[in-house]
Structure 1
Amino acid sequence: MQPKLTDVAKLAGVSVTTVSRVINDRGYLSAATKEKVFAAMQQLNYQPSLAARVLQGKQFKLVGLIFASLENPLIAEVVEEIENRLFAKGYKAIICNSMDNPQKEQQYLKMLMANQVDGIITGSHNEGIKEYKMSGLPIVSYDRYFQNKIPTVSSDNQAGGELAARTLIEKGSHKLMLVAGSLEKKVPNNGRMTGFVEGAKGHGQSVVTVRFPFNATPTIRRATIREKLAAKKPDGIFCTDDQTALLCIQEAQKLGMTVPNDVQVIGYDGSTYVQEYHPELSTIVQPVGDIADLLVRLLFNRLQKNDEQLLDKYILPIKLLQRDSLRK
């Protein structure tokens, strides 16, 4: 049974009127009172009803955006594009940076429910967070799989990995290296790794794989990359994100390797930042504008409860941007 306003009032030890005033931010209320009410709402996983939200004509029109980290230029760009599209529709965004921490993500979900968001777009998901299911909110996902029929939008990661392998081999690379995140979670971008390995195998090539945990620092990444480059001496590298690809180029050059003559490098993402500030990097480009458009369209489909049958997965095409890190 869904908790009611009276349940929140009872747990917080205040009147129903006080709870309503906290929800709608009306009149003077002490910080202690607000804290008690929000704590009770979180404990009960209480989601204010539409009637409570529009009390006295007030409607907030908020959407929560939960992403693992905004340090990645591609993710920052996706979030910006989503926020712009939401604003154009009269909605505001609450942006949450979970750092791939389950406890932090759980607390953000509770906070978003307490702040009466209309829906959630998430690019960060840790298995077993019950609040996603309990929230009762429309949710869509970017590059993260959910078990409870939440639509997921991603670029064609598998095709991107295969394209990277084919390109490196066709341009003369024979000793391939894959530098990627861990495979600990079942996420769509794991397809970049499997696509690259399978693409190389289809051309009779094997792959040396280097993996990092999500929270590996740039210093650890640099040291590991340099060690592997010195030991394995690859002549073709595919990285599952552009930031790591740039580290590979830098560390290869420190070892006296020239790019692309000694080693070719391809990244993945193709954010506007990388395209404008790092013309040396060849990369698999994700269609950021199309991703943001589709995420927002799917969310509003769920908000408006349209009859359109939604798919579990939406996969958008990628393309190769060839720059100086590939041979002509």
Structure 2
Amino acid sequence: MAAAYLREQGAKEVALVLDEAHLPMSSRCRIDGIVDGLARRGNALAVIELDELIRKPLLLNQYDGLIAPNDEVAVQLQGMARASGRKINEDFWVTGYNGSRLMQRLNPELATVVLPVQELADKLIATLLEKIAHPDQVIESPAPVPVRFRRPT
């Protein structure tokens, strides 16, 4: 969704930004999915470390679209881009991941993949209650919860 949005906006040079120092396993799986999914469609995607961008801010000039591993890093990337003279959502696009209500209020110009937190919590609680009621039974993983993409306002 994030890569499609960036392409739709006209971004030609897109990179996936990694924050290896703070990357949980679930994020690694998501990132592998992004890279694999784009590769199957024939889209190349650069991968760059956040630490490298911080050390060498001129690297930002190589890209006009970035996919951040979460909303907090996305906001940091927006700030770096602004500092280098780029105009967010005009000549430079950044997408995040999580889409919390707080982040949507604080930064409405951030495009982000929104996790349905309440639905995820409901499924988790139902699964835990099922396991408590039937401790010896193998509980199947619930169906995936669909995410949505929030465009900037």
Normalising by the smaller structure, the TM-score range is 0.7 to 0.9
Give the alignment partner of residue 269 of structure 1, picking from 73, 89, 98.
98
5+ unaligned residues in a row in structure 2: which ranges? none
Q: Which has the larger radius of gyration?
A: 1
Residues 254-310 of structure 1, C-alpha deviations (whole Å, 9 max, x = no match): 000111121111100001111111111110000000111111111111222278751
Q: Aligned pair in 2 of structure 1 residues 224, 286: CA closer, same or farther (>3 Å)?
A: farther
Give the alignment partner of residue 244 of structure 1, picking from 65, 73, 88.
73
Confirm or deny: 8 A CA contact 1:284 1:319 kept in the other structure. Answer: yes
Task: Give secondary structure in 2 for the equivalent of 1:258.
Answer: coil
Q: Aligned pair in 2 of structure 1 residues 298, 224: CA closer, same or farther (>3 Å)?
A: farther
C-alpha separation in 1, matches of 2:75 and 2:131: 39
Q: Aligned pair in 2 of structure 1 residues 226, 313: CA closer, same or farther (>3 Å)?
A: farther
Paired residues, number: 153
RMSD: 2.8
1:175 and 2:13 are equivalent in the alignment: yes
C-alpha separation in 1, matches of 2:80 and 2:59: 10
Q: Aligned pair in 2 of structure 1 residues 249, 186: CA closer, same or farther (>3 Å)?
A: closer
State the identity as a percent: 25
Query: So what's the TM-score if we normalise by structure 2?
Result: 0.84
Task: For residue 183 of structure 1, report the CA deviation from its aligned partner.
Answer: 9.5
Task: For residue 209 of structure 1, report the CA deviation from its aligned partner.
Answer: 1.2
Confirm or deny: 8 A CA contact 2:70 2:96 kept in the other structure. Answer: yes
Residues 173-215 of structure 1, C-alpha deviations (whole Å, 9 max, x = no match): 1101111233998823223322332343345432221235xxx
Task: Give secondary structure in 2 for the equivalent of 1:189.
Answer: helix
1:228 and 2:59 are equivalent in the alignment: yes
Residues 17-50 of structure 1, C-alpha deviations (whole Å, 9 max, x = no match): xxxxxxxxxxxxxxxxxxxxxxxxxxxxxxxxxx
Residue number in structure 2 paired with 1:301: 130
Residues 223-250 of structure 1, C-alpha deviations (whole Å, 9 max, x = no match): 24734314xx211111110000001111
C-alpha separation in 2, matches of 1:187 and 1:300: 25
Residues 99-133 of structure 1, C-alpha deviations (whole Å, 9 max, x = no match): xxxxxxxxxxxxxxxxxxxxxxxxxxxxxxxxxxx
C-alpha separation in 2, matches of 1:205 and 1:211: 20
Residue number in structure 1 paired with 2:36: 198
Residues 44-75 of structure 1, C-alpha deviations (whole Å, 9 max, x = no match): xxxxxxxxxxxxxxxxxxxxxxxxxxxxxxxx
C-alpha separation in 2, matches of 1:164 and 1:225: 24
Q: Aligned pair in 2 of structure 1 residues 246, 266: CA closer, same or farther (>3 Å)?
A: same
5+ unaligned residues in a row in structure 1: which ranges? 1-162, 213-219
1:284 and 2:122 are equivalent in the alignment: no
Task: Give secondary structure in 2 for the equivalent of 1:260.
Answer: coil
Amino acid at match of 2:8: E
Confirm or deny: 8 A CA contact 1:240 1:267 kept in the other structure. Answer: yes
Give the alignment partner of residue 84 of structure 2, picking from 248, 255, 259.
255
Q: Aligned pair in 2 of structure 1 residues 183, 169: CA closer, same or farther (>3 Å)?
A: farther
Confirm or deny: 8 A CA contact 1:166 1:199 kept in the other structure. Answer: no
Residue number in structure 2 paired with 1:134: none
Q: Aligned pair in 2 of structure 1 residues 185, 236: CA closer, same or farther (>3 Å)?
A: closer
Q: Aligned pair in 2 of structure 1 residues 237, 276: CA closer, same or farther (>3 Å)?
A: same
Amino acid at match of 1:226: P
Query: So what's the TM-score if we normalise by structure 1?
Result: 0.42
